[in-house]
């Protein structure tokens, strides 16, 4: 079709990336929920009750039982599934919009902006309300069900809306937007860079990374964001944890929370929970990308590269026929002239050789 960027046809559709991300989210949530519970407890601990990650985990098990390590799993798994679907799908849409209309290539600036946009969108639509519910459930420490204020995720959401209004589900939205936008800008850019540098993998090249390769790239990409966004994560957790029904709020907003935490607890308090975040996010990204890369790789090989060539690639007119061996295959072409040149349809290819109507005479 005239005027259409040929490179776009080789791109994996956003809905495929959304499905891949959601599957990865389910697997990740099931494996790593205990670490997220420990991280949240450490961030909410102002009295020094927990001495560290191991002490926090053993204390939870001893006082509340093993199942307490999976508190909030339902909203967390649902939240991850929807979040990754929105993140991967919207990032693909943003990347398509930022690609050069002539070359179909995506600049580093476009990749960063695409990731940031996906992070902001997921923070506003999915992350904030789900994490408010998750954190409220996780901060309950009673053993007896009758002592718990929130009986479950649905009950928790309804109680928050009743006592604090609908906006209570968006407590801590500002630091969440900053955290997720920065995280995803760094993560998508880093993941692509590691794939190219370590494995020479480019989207559309038919190369499917081995699971261990995706795991390494995902793990490395997942280490950048937590270090940069630690204060946003701590502030987000504090703002989400405080109930508006209990009188005057301790933290008035993002900036006030940062200054208050710094004055009362010191600079290091703004990075509370960093170690468990590093224990959860990089492994989580490793798991998610391992699953997502396999799903998108399967689609790419089966439905993109096995698809019939478009009419733009089949511009061979009646004329002299000849045979060309390319990567063990013999392809027959007919063109209106005898000048030939190799080119790659819709991007580069290491397997097929094609002929164009535009030709250059050999020396």
Q: What number of other Cβ atoms are within 10 A of residue 216's Cβ? A: 19
Task: Evaluate whether 94 touches 165 at the Cβ level (below 8 Å).
Answer: no
Predicted pLDDT of residue 51: 87
Predicted TM-score (pTM) of this structure: 0.69
Predicted pLDDT of residue 246: 62
Residues 6+ apart with CB under 8 A from 315: 335, 356, 357
Residue identified by tokens 């179909």 is 104
- Is the CATH number 1.50.40.10 carried by domain 6-304? yes
Rounded-to-integer distance, Cα 155 and Cα 136, Å: 11
Predicted pLDDT of residue 92: 95
3-state secondary structure of 332: strand
Buried b (16+ CB within 10 A) or exposed e, 268-300: ebbebbbebbbbbbbbbbbbbbbbbbbbbbebb
| Domain coordinates in residue numbering, the chain | 6-304, 313-363
Please give the biggest Cα pair distance in the chain. 88
Predicted pLDDT of residue 112: 95
Residue 62 CB-half CA count within 13 A:
7
Predicted pLDDT of residue 48: 82
Q: What is the pLDDT along the chain (363 residues), one digit of tens a residue?
A: 444 444 444 678 999 999 999 999 988 988 888 888 888 888 888 788 888 889 999 999 999 999 899 887 887 788 789 989 999 999 999 999 999 888 888 999 999 999 999 999 999 999 899 889 888 888 776 657 777 888 888 999 999 999 999 999 999 899 999 999 999 999 999 999 999 999 999 876 778 899 999 999 999 999 988 888 889 889 988 988 887 766 678 888 889 999 999 999 999 999 988 888 888 889 999 999 999 999 998 888 888 766 554 444 444 433 333 334 333 343 444 444 434 444 334 444 444 333 344 444 443
Rounded-to-integer distance, Cα 41 and Cα 61, Å: 13
Predicted pLDDT of residue 147: 73
Predicted pLDDT of residue 323: 36
């Amino acid at each position: 079709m005239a005027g259409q960027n040929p490179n776009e046809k080789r791109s994996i559709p956003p809905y495929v990336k959304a499905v891949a991300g959601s599957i990865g989210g389910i697997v990740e949530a099931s494996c790593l929920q205990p670490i997220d519970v420990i991280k949240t407890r450490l961030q909410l601990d102002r009295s020094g009750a927990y001495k560290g990650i191991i002490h926090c985990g053993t204390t939870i098990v001893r006082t509340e039982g093993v199942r307490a390590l999976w508190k909030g799993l339902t909203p967390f798994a649902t939240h991850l599934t929807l979040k990754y679907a929105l993140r991967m799908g919207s990032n693909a849409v943003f990347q398509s919009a930022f690609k050069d209309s002539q070359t179909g290539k995506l600049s580093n600036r476009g990749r960063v902006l695409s990731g940031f946009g996906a992070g902001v969108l997921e923070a506003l639509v999915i992350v904030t309300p789900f994490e408010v519910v998750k954190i409220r459930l996780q901060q309950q420490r009673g053993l007896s069900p009758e002592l718990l204020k929130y009986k479950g995720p649905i009950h928790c959401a309804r109680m928050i809306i009743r006592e604090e209004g609908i906006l209570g589900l968006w407590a801590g939205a500002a630091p969440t937007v900053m955290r997720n936008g920065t995280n995803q800008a760094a993560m998508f850019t880093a993941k692509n860079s590691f794939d190219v540098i370590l494995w020479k993998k480019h989207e559309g090249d038919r190369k499917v990374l081995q699971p261990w390769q995706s795991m390494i790239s995902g793990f490395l990409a997942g280490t950048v964001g937590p270090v940069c966004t630690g204060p946003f994560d701590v502030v987000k957790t504090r703002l989400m944890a405080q109930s508006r029904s209990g009188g005057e709020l301790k933290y008035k907003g993002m900036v006030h929370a940062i200054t208050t935490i710094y004055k009362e607890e010191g600079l290091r308090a703004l990075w509370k929970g960093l170690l468990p975040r590093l224990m959860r996010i990089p492994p989580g990204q490793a798991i998610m990308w391992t699953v997502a890369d396999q799903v998108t790789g399967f689609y790419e090989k089966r439905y993109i590269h096995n698809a019939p060539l478009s009419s733009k690639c089949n511009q061979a007119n009646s004329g002299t026929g000849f045979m060309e061996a390319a990567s063990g295959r013999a392809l027959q072409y007919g063109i209106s002239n005898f000048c030939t040149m190799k080119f790659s349809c819709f991007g580069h290819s290491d397997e097929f050789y094609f002929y164009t109507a535009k030709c250059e005479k050999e020396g």
